[in-house]
């Protein structure tokens, strides 16, 4: 029986983050995750988590300035990138979040590669004493053209090069189906380095109840692999979040 985490970056966005946590609990989710919670008082989030018994599984580092999508692969922006990493760790500790997605940003080339690896090394070293896992996530080139990281093979190469045990892959089935396909085989091969899995329908990124991925088959495959952590529901509802939740009890 799969467990699910509600990604509050896309679900119940009309509510405050604490109220969205309560809505996710009422709907039957096993955990929550978010994108950028930094404008919300962490005490209010912590109170909602304590009230519901849910864990905030993950959050993202800051996107940076307007038009940016992360900082950690941007040459000459190491100070900003590491400040964003420090901010994310501080916030995660305040609300008991075990995973931080370090966003790479729009960049390319060897200098960007070296910058990203150095900043990930920093993130892992800062997070390790607190038991926090650092995640990197390939994003597809349609939704995020120019993003530094777009394939699972590139992510694997970076994880191996950095060589820190708390650096893992965020395996977003939506992004990787668009970029690579062959999702079940990739899950099998990459399971040792996967830190979190996310789902949405492909190609429209709506509820995971239609489209070119058979999610029931996918869940059975993950169960056979022994994956027992909550799967992140990171999709954009076709109407309201509540109206689209008929997939969850199924």
Contacts of 162 by beta carbon, 8 Å cutoff, 6+ apart = 117, 120, 121, 124
CA distances from 213 to 176, 178, 217, 221, 249 (A): 11, 11, 9, 13, 18
pLDDT reported for residue 110: 98
Contact call for residues 213 and 178 (beta carbons, < 8 A) = no
Given this model, what pLDDT does residue 122 score? 98
CB contact at 8 A, 94 and 46:
yes
DSSP string, 200-230: --TTT---TTSSSS-HHHHHHHHHHTT--SP
What pLDDT does residue 6 have?
98
Rounded to 10 deg, the angle between the 183-190 and 152-162 helix axes is 10
Q: Are 45 and 78 in contact (CB under 8 A)?
A: no
- 137 among known catalytic residues: yes
Print pLDDT tens along the chain (250 aa).
799 999 999 999 999 999 999 999 999 999 999 999 999 999 999 999 999 999 999 999 999 999 999 999 999 999 999 999 999 999 999 999 999 999 999 999 999 999 999 999 999 999 999 999 999 999 999 999 999 999 999 999 999 999 999 999 999 999 999 999 999 999 999 999 999 999 999 999 999 999 999 999 999 999 999 999 999 999 999 999 999 999 998 8
So what's the pLDDT on residue 250?
84
Distance, CA of 205 to CA of 4 (rounded, Å): 17
68 is catalytic: no
The total of other beta-carbon atoms located within 10 Å of residue 45's CB is: 26
Q: Which residues of 65-223 form beta strands (DSSP E)? A: 99-101, 133-136, 167-172, 194-199
Torsion angle, alpha carbons of 99, 191, 103, 209, to 10: -90
Which of 50, 137, 160, 207 is catalytic? The answer is 137
Task: State the Rg of the chain over Cα.
Answer: 17
d(CA 66, CA 222): 37
Q: Report pLDDT for 127.
A: 98
The three-state DSSP-derived secondary structure of 23-36 is HHHHHCCCEEECCC
In this structure, are residues 8 and 34 in contact, taking their beta carbons and an 8 Å threshold?
yes
Strand-pairing partners, residue 144, are: none
Q: Which CATH architecture has domain 4-247?
A: Alpha-Beta Barrel (3.20)
Catalytic-role residue among 33, 113, 207, 234: 234
């Amino acid at each position: 029986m799969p467990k699910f985490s509600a990604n509050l970056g896309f679900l119940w966005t009309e509510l405050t983050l604490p109220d969205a946590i309560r809505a996710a609990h009422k709907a039957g989710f096993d955990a929550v995750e978010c994108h950028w919670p930094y404008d919300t008082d962490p005490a209010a989030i912590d109170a909602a988590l304590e009230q519901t018994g849910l864990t905030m599984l993950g959050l993202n580092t800051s996107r940076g300035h307007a038009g940016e999508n992360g900082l950690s692969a941007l040459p000459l922006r190491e100070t900003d990138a590491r400040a964003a990493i420090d901010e994310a760790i501080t916030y995660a500790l305040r609300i008991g979040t075990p995973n931080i997605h370090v966003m790479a940003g729009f960049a390319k080339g060897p200098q960007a590669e070296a910058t990203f690896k150095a900043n990930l090394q920093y993130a892992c070293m800062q997070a390790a004493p607190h038991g926090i896992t650092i995640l990197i996530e390939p994003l597809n080139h349609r939704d995020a053209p120019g993003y530094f990281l777009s394939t699972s093979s590139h992510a694997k190469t970076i994880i191996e090069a950095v060589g820190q045990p708390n650096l893992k892959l965020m395996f977003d089935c939506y992004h990787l189906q668009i970029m690579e396909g062959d999702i079940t085989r990739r899950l099998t091969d990459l399971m040792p380095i996967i830190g979190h899995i996310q789902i949405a329908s492909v190609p429209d990124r709506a509820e995971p109840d239609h489209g070119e991925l058979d999610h029931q088959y996918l869940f059975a495959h993950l169960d056979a692999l022994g994956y027992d952590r909550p799967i992140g529901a990171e999709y954009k509802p076709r109407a309201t979040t509540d109206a689209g939740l008929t997939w969850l009890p199924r």
